[in-house]
Structure 1
């Protein structure tokens, strides 16, 4: 029994060997068949369905060269190329992603907003804190008049404001910081008050009269505080400006006081004039300032479109505005037809040195002397900046000085 038992045990592996061999053959065959079907179907799979992370795509190396597998290679290359391209253009990312908003028609910086919600302009119309917003405005003035004021000129401003009808929004810029005292005048309670110490009207204009803020107004008056308005009516003035097609204008000046230029001198025989004669040698071209295309900065009136251009021309650091009146012609075309003086609605320049008195004494000079010196420096600086900017532009366009004509 012991010998028989040992034989059975020793012969059993030999008996199972053919079965294992057959199993191995069958398994291998099935693996080959399965691999064949996978290999045939794999090129037709969509990469998007495979959901391969885009960060891995540039590192994938595919060396398929036959026609069947070239589609896979091209898809991977296209996706990799798109990733690199999108990384260079934020705008392209938004344009390719239809689930996000990127409206290029919106103002710069607001591209992510739906165009229907964009409120690109504003106004100076006061709003209530209660009720329906649609019922806030009883009236919407069509014109804007601004005065840069100190409280010492309150009576003069009171007289001036009363020359402007309810069609005008009244905006006061206070250089002396005194605002509440003006409420002794009934109109002051409806006016807009902006107070910053010792600043000029062009400083205020650059910061508070952005074209998108004053967009509702057909005309914008930017006036000094020392103007006599006995012979002026704002509504009649607007009618004449429209009639004669003036984009930039001013009332005529009473000739016996405060007159600097012949162009702004009132003519008693006409409604409007657009050109004049100055001292010999002052005007190389009769269509150029100060003989035409010219008004002064004390009492200018701008159309909405003209102001949009002028606002951009105002320099942020040159606050007195000297020299600006010689450059206003750049904002309308032709300037000698669209800039003019309204003679039949005229004013008096009272030449009150209130702004000069806001200066400070330095080096033994009176306050007004320092202010006057800066005015002259700013005029020179503005002229230089404008000339250099024009030169740089024309050079960038390949236009030489000989091809540039006065305009």
Structure 2
């Protein structure tokens, strides 16, 4: 039977980052994933200033011309945005230390007689460890997440393609483009274009539904993307790869359990932006240190990890963020562009802090009040209705604002 100090379930960037930090602290780490080490397949973008310094040079591209379109004219965001180089990120993390990577999938975990854990694999394998970390993504194999009213997903369909005519301004990145050049884009859920110029004729273009219940399907978003590109006279010449994204945005702060979750499995997806990877990379050293100290002292390592990952101030902030989620879900399709027009009309320090992973509840609430004051009348009414419809979340936000 395989034995380790820590068994990390999941082969994505969150689990790999934590495994790397744990191994660098001298722990015997085993990482379990359905595949061997390989570059992460998804497209990961992040604000450059939110990436840890150790990985900022592991980017595929960085744009200083970052735009949002909530009307005909662009709003420049004046904040550098990065596309991660997934192969370089994996090399950097794997270069931190040595640990075992095992190909397989976990079925369940149960307490062992020595106080540790026995993890059973889907093919009958068994692994023994002192601590289990579930970094399996939003599926959360061992620590189910809670979603008020059910999961509210973000979905997106994108392609890397070559274009004869640029679909966005060369050298730029469109973080959110709510313009509707095709009739298909004026029906159903409001979706936006998220796009990056990758150099030369290559662009990444993605039609995105930020959050919806129910969410648009892959086929619907693919049709909307192709309709958008065709209507603006920029159909792709050739498609190199496709990407489909679907994950829930509205996870509540989880209740700590005997298995530590990490990354998306721990509900660390930002409820408004959908970002998670930069936060997981930044959290990894602190969480790893808490786990290593607890294991060395013979105390409850899972409890120490939960405390490091979800301290009380993060719980409070999540309650305020979830009010923002309910506000987004309450807005009609024609109200989303003016809402984000008001949001990105706030001082850059405000909207940047609202989208950050670790902004305190008091500051989030104050920013929400400023946004409420600046929003158009019909949007302001919808925001008020969302707060009244969720009195617990509204009271948490108001209380946080008053405390601040």
Q: Which has the higher contact order (CA 8 A, sep 6+)?
A: 2
How does the TM-score come out when normalised to structure 1?
0.21
The structure that is strand-richer by fraction is 2
The structure that is helix-richer by fraction is 1
